[in-house]
């Protein structure tokens, strides 16, 4: 049984992080996580932008997002704190809102730098938590220790994120808020709703206004982002399962396999079968 299943949290280093981050194809994390970079760089593609992280930066990953690794440097040193969502839900709503907001800022292609001395403290906390998780010594209250150490880590992160983001969160422009809600709605409804009209109606604004705002903030139109999300979903289903193409098209809400194949080929210039074949060789 993994530490994640047993204790609700698991820590990966640069030596085994690629057990959870697929290096050669799009992937969806099974659980949310914090990824810290102590040295070197890693570049990930998420949704519609590339995010490059270097020393003394961190990012928040979420199972609703599909990622693709673009590159990693030879001197890459990292820790990934992966956790069960329910393990963090007991913490304050303010903390959860900060995490959500931080995740949104990342979508706008912004990594999170923080001072080296703060990184050092968090790094030590994570390493101590890892030491307890990895220890083979019988510990009477190991589960409770892990829970409390993880809480300490979360409050450290809440303090850092709050300091960095509280002002900007309060200053979130109306345009950013529209994009934030659009991306949140899209994560929830993209399997059944693909029209810009649906997402505009959710916010009681015109399709023209939604498209204009999304384009100005992200550089891509609302319809392009909808297609990107669906394509990413399709890629993961095709390369991480043996489901027939007809079943994948049904999961993605297409009327039939032909409609799905036409959509896929239009955006990637290869058919779903040809795409899947690339990962079988």
HEC assignment per residue over the chain: CCHHHHHCEEEEECCCHHHCCCCCCCECCCCCEEEEEEECCEEEEECCEEEEECCCEEEEECCCCCEEEEEECCCCEEEEEEECHHHHCCCCHHHHHHHHHHHHHHHCCCCEECCHHHHHHHHHHHHHHHHHHHCCCCCCCHHHHHHHHHHHHHHHHHHHHHHHHHHHHHCCCHHHHHHHHHHHHHHHHCCCCCCHHHHHHHCCCCHHHHHHHHHHHHCCCHHHHHHHHHHHHHHHHHHHCCCCHHHHHHHCCCCCHHHHHHHHHHHHCCCHHHHHHHCCC
What's residue 278's pLDDT?
Answer: 79
State yes or no: pLDDT of 270 exceeds 80. Answer: yes
Q: What digits encode the pLDDT tens for the residues 100-155?
A: 666 666 665 566 778 889 899 999 999 999 999 998 888 888 888 998 898 888 88
Mean pLDDT across the stretch 211-237?
Answer: 90
Per-residue pLDDT band for 168 (boundaries 50, 70, 90) equals low
Q: What digits encode the pLDDT tens for the residues 46-83?
A: 876 788 889 999 888 888 788 888 899 999 999 999 98
What's residue 171's pLDDT?
Answer: 59
What's residue 167's pLDDT?
Answer: 56
**Among the listed residues 3, 73, 68, the one whose alpha carbon sits nearest the alpha carbon of residue 31:** 3
State yes or no: pLDDT of 36 exceeds 70. Answer: yes
Mean pLDDT across the stretch 235-254?
Answer: 88
CA distance 127 to 157: 15
Mean pLDDT across the stretch 186-215?
Answer: 92
What's residue 203's pLDDT?
Answer: 93
pTM above 0.85, yes or no: no
Per-residue pLDDT band for 172 (boundaries 50, 70, 90) equals low
């Amino acid at each position: 049984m993994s530490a994640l299943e047993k204790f609700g949290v698991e820590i990966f280093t640069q030596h085994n992080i690629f057990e959870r981050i697929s290096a050669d194809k799009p992937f969806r994390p099974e659980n949310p996580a914090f990824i810290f970079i102590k040295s070197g760089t890693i570049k990930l593609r998420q949704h519609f932008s590339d995010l490059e992280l270097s020393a003394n930066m961190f990012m928040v990953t979420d199972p609703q997002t599909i990622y693709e690794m673009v590159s990693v440097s030879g001197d890459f040193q990292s820790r990934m704190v992966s956790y069960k969502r329910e393990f963090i839900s007991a913490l304050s709503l303010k903390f959860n809102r900060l995490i959500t907001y931080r995740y949104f800022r990342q979508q706008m292609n912004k990594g999170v730098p923080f001072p080296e001395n703060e990184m050092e403290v968090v790094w030590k906390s994570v390493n101590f938590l890892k030491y307890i998780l990895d220890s083979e010594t019988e510990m009477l209250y190991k589960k409770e220790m892990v829970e409390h150490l993880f809480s300490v880590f979360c409050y450290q992160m809440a303090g850092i994120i709050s300091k960095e983001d509280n002002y900007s969160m309060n200053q979130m422009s109306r345009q950013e808020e529209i994009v934030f809600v659009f991306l949140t709605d899209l994560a929830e409804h993209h399997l059944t709703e693909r029209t810009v009209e649906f997402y505009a109606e959710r916010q009681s604004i015109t399709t023209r206004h939604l498209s204009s705002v999304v384009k100005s903030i992200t550089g891509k139109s609302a319809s392009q982002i909808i297609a990107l999300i669906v394509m990413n979903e399709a890629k993961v289903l095709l390369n991480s399962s043996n489901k027939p193409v007809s079943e994948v098209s049904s999961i993605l809400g297409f009327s039939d396999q032909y409609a799905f194949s036409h959509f896929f080929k239009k955006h990637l210039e290869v058919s779903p079968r040809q795409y899947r074949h690339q990962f079988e060789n």
